[in-house]
Amino acid sequence: MRLRSIFTNSFGILLSRVTGLGRDVLMASALGASVWSDMFFVAFKLPNLFRRIFAEGAFTQAFMPSFIASKHKGVFATSIFLRFLLFLVSFSLIITIFPEPMTKLLAWGWSWEQIDQTAPLTAINFWYLDLIFIVTFLATLLQYKEHFATTAMSTALLNISMITALWIFMKHDPKTVAYALSFAVLIGGVLQIVAHLITLHRFKLDRLLIGGWKYRKVKDVKEEEKHFKSLFLPGILGNSTPQISAFVDTILATFLATGSVSFLFYANRIFQLPLAIIAIATATVLFPTVSKALKNNQEEKAYENLTQAFWLLAFLLGAAMIGGILLAEPIIWLLFERGKFTHVETLQTMEVLRMYMVGLLPFGLAKLFSLFLYASHRHRKAAKVAVYSLLTSVSFSLMLMHPLGAAGLALAGSIGGWVFFGFTVKEVGFGILKRILLNKRSIYFLVGMPIFAVAMYLLNGWIVGLIR
């Protein structure tokens, strides 16, 4: 297992997430959990939803195996890039002209007056999808060369752009802050593209794309494109479970008390920190390695990497899950309780964070196991698993939203995460999981986690006593 690459990738993601938390701290201080914060998060949710489904999820996991197998890599890559970019630009133009219906789609519970106020923000933010697709495409080429640092760290550029906007417009009215943040999102996307283009040139991959454009009418890649489409379409569904679930939760949250959308956003940001630094960083590094190993019929090498990564994730995510549940109040207090973000909002966000953290371990491990399905071109199996998870999440969201509020929506997502993990392991093979668990590290895990939980419980009691 490429530990150096994993830790390099993790460090880059950590830098991005830390700057992201800094951004959110300033945002909470400037907007709190208010009507305008809800409106900005709704507007920013749409491009992020499609980004994670199309660009970062289904595209990467369909493109990488197809690119590895391609005989004319430059032509294939150029062809796919141009088709996607044309589609996304056309889509963004439609959203720019008709932003109200798309905004209403995400915020059913809002009045048309609030939708009209949010629609211009939606139109601005949606162009980030086009920019981040370019970033994702370039990042996938760099992953093929097993370079991950640029992509991991580049999100910090987006956060720095938004932090700068907050710093400049902090004392302005909430409407001005929301618009400044929206334009800062686009500036951040452009900066991310520039960073990737510089690295692409350093690895001389720009020559591959130039050659692909030059020979695009000479080399026949129709069969490769057809194979890519057969992976991409089910890949959309296979990768969209958490995003569609979050999309539904945001819609349902608009029917709850004001601030519910913001509670979900702030808590989910913290939940995503360990998930990205540990699970996503590990899976990202392993994906090209596993894809190449399975293509070359080196299954034992692939499963050896899986075993090592499983225990790395089990210990780190297990500790993060326990710490997040038991230290939820001090974490929210430390990060957000200042300015317009009150202690009452801290307590409400705390409950949402605890419910999210219940699903941290299964989501992380499912991410690890699912890469085997994508690397071996079993995208349809992954899509089937995603449907089970999505139906579970949505069903529990409808059942729990009224008795538990926003926290119920977060808990429903976690339940869906456990279902996602169970069915993903089933498709990969329970025998593989059994072989992994028959290891002395199982004993260390079973003994170490309860001891760590007791320590975190005592630490939480001490910290809460101080802050109250």
pLDDT digits (tens, 9 = 90+) for 218-271: 677 777 778 777 777 776 666 667 777 777 887 888 888 878 888 898 898 889
Per-residue model confidence as pLDDT tens digits over 92-103: 999 999 998 888
The residue from 219, 237, 255 where one domain ends is: 237
Q: Are residues 229 and 116 in the same domain?
A: yes
The residue from 212, 237, 262 where one domain ends is: 237
pLDDT the model gives residue 361: 93
Helices (H), 296-378: 299-326, 328-336, 343-357, 360-375
Residue 184 has pLDDT above 80, yes or no: yes
Cβ within 8 Å of residue 275, ≥6 positions away: 317, 360, 363, 364, 367
pLDDT the model gives residue 93: 94
* 361-377 average pLDDT score: 84
Q: In the chain, how many domains are there?
A: 2
pLDDT the model gives residue 160: 93
Q: Are residues 108 and 190 in the same domain?
A: yes
Cβ within 8 Å of residue 54, ≥6 positions away: 84, 88, 129, 133, 236
* Cα–chain center distance at 464: 31
pLDDT the model gives residue 205: 85
Q: Are residues 171 and 262 in the same domain?
A: no
pLDDT the model gives residue 208: 81
The residue from 205, 237, 269 where one domain ends is: 237
Q: Are residues 32 and 46 in the same domain?
A: yes
- What SS3 class is residue 277? helix
- Please give the DSSP secondary-structure letter assigned to residue 147: -
pLDDT the model gives residue 453: 94
Q: Are residues 277 and 356 in the same domain?
A: yes
Residue 405 to residue 260: CA distance in whole angstroms: 8
Asked if 186 contacts 130 with a C-beta cutoff of 8 angstroms, the reply is no
Q: Are residues 321 and 185 in the same domain?
A: no
Q: Are residues 204 and 255 in the same domain?
A: no
Calculate the CA dihedral of residues 219, 223, 229, 235 and round it to 10 degrees.
-110
Q: Which long-range contacts does 425-433 make (Cβ < 8 Å, 24+ apart)?
A: 425/366, 425/369, 427/373, 427/378, 427/381, 427/382, 427/384, 427/385, 428/369, 428/372, 428/373, 432/303, 432/306
Asked if 386 contacts 240 with a C-beta cutoff of 8 angstroms, the reply is yes
Q: Are residues 138 and 267 in the same domain?
A: no
Per-residue model confidence as pLDDT tens digits over 320-365: 999 999 999 999 988 888 777 788 888 899 999 999 999 999 999 9
* Most trustworthy range by pLDDT among 36-40, 115-119, 327-331: 327-331
Q: Are residues 307 and 200 in the same domain?
A: no
Q: Are residues 231 and 262 in the same domain?
A: no
What is the residue-averaged pLDDT of the chain? 84
pLDDT the model gives residue 371: 79
Q: Are residues 154 and 276 in the same domain?
A: no
Least confident piece of the model among 39-48, 84-93, 123-132, 190-199:
39-48
Q: What's the domain range around 429?
A: 240-468
Residue 34 to residue 117: CA distance in whole angstroms: 14
Q: Are residues 332 and 456 in the same domain?
A: yes
The residue that leads in pLDDT, 157 or 298, is 157
Per-residue model confidence as pLDDT tens digits over 282-324: 877 777 777 777 777 777 777 787 888 889 889 999 999 999 9
CA distances from 343 to 18, 329, 332, 333 (A): 23, 10, 9, 8
